[in-house]
């Protein structure tokens, strides 16, 4: 039974598979890494998951864009956070911490 952690998860996994170094991926491990990165505080509202260059087929880091919304679930004012995959990942060269 597959859990859905964010909207667009299937599209994200398809995009991830296209750029990742390994042919077969463990979707649970990938989603855990994504959720860990998305739940970190950011100075602005730009959310993204970065797949490091050493994990991609061509050696360039890939950024997957996300957005976050707060959603009221009922009349009790219960609010939850929902993440959405925005699609269209893009590659870029990034200076890793070791390179700075």
- Whole-number Å distance between alpha carbons of 69 and 34: 16
| Residue extents of the structural domains in the chain | 9-92
Buried b (16+ CB within 10 A) or exposed e, 33-65: ebeebbeeeeeeeebbbebebebbeeeebbbbe
| Whether the predicted pLDDT of 1 surpasses 50 | no
- Whole-number Å distance between alpha carbons of 96 and 89: 19
Report which of residues 30 and 46 the model is more confident about: 30
Type and span of the H or E element at 34:
helix 27-38
The pLDDT assigned to 49 comes to: 92
The pLDDT assigned to 30 comes to: 92
Chain centre to alpha carbon of residue 72: 23
Choose among 5, 55, 60: nearest CA to 27. 5
**Average pLDDT, stretch 19-23?**
81
Type and span of the H or E element at 68:
strand 61-72
Instruction: Give the model confidence (pLDDT) of 35-88 as tens digits.
Output: 999 998 888 778 999 999 888 888 889 999 999 888 877 777 778 888 999 887
| Whether the predicted pLDDT of 99 surpasses 50 | no
The pLDDT assigned to 43 comes to: 80
């Amino acid at each position: 039974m597959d859990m859905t952690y964010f909207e667009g998860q299937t599209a994200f996994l398809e995009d991830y598979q296209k750029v990742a170094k390994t042919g077969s991926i463990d979707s649970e491990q990938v989603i855990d890494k994504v959720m860990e990165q998305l739940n970190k505080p950011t100075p602005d509202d730009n959310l993204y998951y970065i797949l490091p260059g050493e994990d991609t087929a061509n050696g360039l880091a890939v950024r997957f864009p996300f957005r976050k919304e707060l959603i009221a679930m009922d009349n009790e004012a219960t609010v939850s956070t929902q993440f959405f995959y925005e699609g269209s990942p893009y590659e870029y060269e990034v200076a890793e911490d070791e390179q700075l």
